[in-house]
Amino acid sequence: MSRRHKKEVKVDEAQEKEKKEAADLAMDKREVVHKRPEGRLKWLHKALVLASKGRVSMPTIYDIVKSSQFTSGMNSKVGLQIKGMVLANLHLFKKEQQKTLQHSRLMSFSEDGSVPAGNSDSEESKRKRKRRRSSYSSDDYSRSRSSSYSRNRKKKKSKKEQDEESRPKAKEKEKEKEKAKEKEKERAKDREREKHEKKAKKQKGKSDEDPDGDRAKEKHKEKEKTKDEDSGKKKSKKDKSKE
């Protein structure tokens, strides 16, 4: 195999390797900023190398690097390395992008150990965050307890109100029942009265229709009475004569 052919094979292999690395490199902003600071440093090194060979997009790299989330949680050691890497490859960015990066939070890292505002990850800041979380959790717990207590009080009040409302309603129902019973009794009395009145009217009507018949009956009774009296007198006379 000739030297020229060997060089071509090596170039092809290198290109394939670059293509594979470019395809495997994460270019999503959310995915990159969620890496650890050391992981972001490695990512930026790979991205700038591949961008210099035209394998990845420089605007995408710029959009990720200028974000405040990209430097979040970084210590001064990692921050200085990233800062130096960006300044060394500043020519890869456009002029406007270069100006923006030179005034970005990334340039706040210095050799004296200072970091951009809000990036300190010291023990003191960790303790403060813990205290804040604990205070928030206690406040949330107290708020939840007070809200549950107020809900329980409202439920109790609503039950009492319901009981108070139901009591007069029950009394009204009892009164209505008593009134209905009294009305039923009055109706029964009226029906009895009507029956008696009807009977009296019938009897009166009969006597009005047949007055002669009543007189004849009375005369018959008187005759029977006189007969009984006469027979009694005769019997007493016979008894006396026998004596």
The tens-digit pLDDT sequence of the chain (243 residues) is 566 555 566 777 888 999 999 999 999 999 999 999 999 999 999 999 999 999 999 999 999 999 999 999 999 999 999 999 999 999 999 999 999 999 999 898 987 766 666 554 444 445 555 666 665 555 555 566 666 666 766 666 566 677 676 677 788 888 888 889 888 888 888 888 888 888 888 777 665 555 555 666 677 777 777 777 777 666 666 666 665
Whether the model clears a pTM of 0.75, i.e. scores above it, the answer is no
Total number of domains in the chain: 1
Q: List Cβ neighbours of 105 (8 Å cut-off, separation of 6 or more).
A: 68, 71, 116, 119
- Judge residue 57's burial from the number of C-beta atoms within 10 Å of its C-beta, 0-12 exposed, 13-18 middle, 19 or more buried: middle
User: Is residue 98 in some structural domain?
Assistant: yes
* Cβ 72 vs Cβ 39: under 8 Å: no
User: Is residue 68 in some structural domain?
Assistant: yes
User: Is residue 132 in some structural domain?
Assistant: no
User: Is residue 105 in some structural domain?
Assistant: yes
User: Is residue 141 in some structural domain?
Assistant: no
User: Is residue 204 in some structural domain?
Assistant: no
Q: Which domain holds residue 56?
A: 15-121
User: Is residue 91 in some structural domain?
Assistant: yes
User: Is residue 58 in some structural domain?
Assistant: yes
